Chains A and B, each alone.
Chain A
Amino acid sequence: DADVTQTPRNRITKTGKRIMLECSQTKGHDRMYWYRQDPGLGLRLIYYSFDVKDINKGEISDGYSVSRQAQAKFSLSLESAIPNQTALYFCATSEPTGKGYTFGSGTRLTVV
């Protein structure tokens, strides 16, 4: 099993729909992250969590929400999806020093 598992791998949804992307990790790390990747823009941080009770907004949190259900689980929700949220989404976990990140394989989301 992968250290960081994201589901689904691919999803097409309609504008206005609510959608949840899920992430689970087996690294035993407290820190988890959600990133969005767009061509030519690299990865941008949406939300991050340093432990179950500590959730923080990243660079581009508008239109997104998250839930940290357990140390190993961190889900990302789009309450009302819009086409410009079409992107590749990555979940990651890291050591407390921030020097060792492990990424999931990504979820490709298309909003039509």
Chain B
Amino acid sequence: GDSVTQMEGPVTLSEEAFLTINCTYTATGYPSLFWYVQYPGEGLQLLLKATKADDKGSNKGFEATYRKETTSFHLEKGSVQVSDSAVYFCALSGSARQLTFGSGTQLTVLP
């Protein structure tokens, strides 16, 4: 079945540092890929998505590129802020059109 493997956390960075959170997936066919963010005490919000190979999703300075050859969708940001502290989830929507989530990565950004 479909699965998502996500970089284990927690990740702690200083403000303005570069962020990478790794995500790889296993799925049949051509899934859509997503990054969701969960701020403390809140539900999940869609951060960005990509629906086909080589697509780049971007939002709020975050980017991720759908790499079919490496089955990856790594999340990057060039300069993190304290307000980016949250839990980040990689997810895919496959042939069953349901979301399968990774385990989540806790990011803490220190001032």
Contact = CB atoms under 8 A, between A and B. Distances in A.
B98 A45 contact: yes
B94 to A, nearest CB: 9
Contacts, number: 53
Interface string B40-59: 00111110010100000000
Interface of B: 4, 6, 32, 42-46, 49, 51, 89, 93, 96-99, 101-104
**Which one of A43, A45, A96 has the highest number of Cβ atoms from chain B below 10 Å of its Cβ?**
A43
Interface of A: 4, 33, 35, 40-45, 48, 58, 90, 92, 94, 96-101, 103-106
B44 A98 contact: no
B43 A99 contact: no
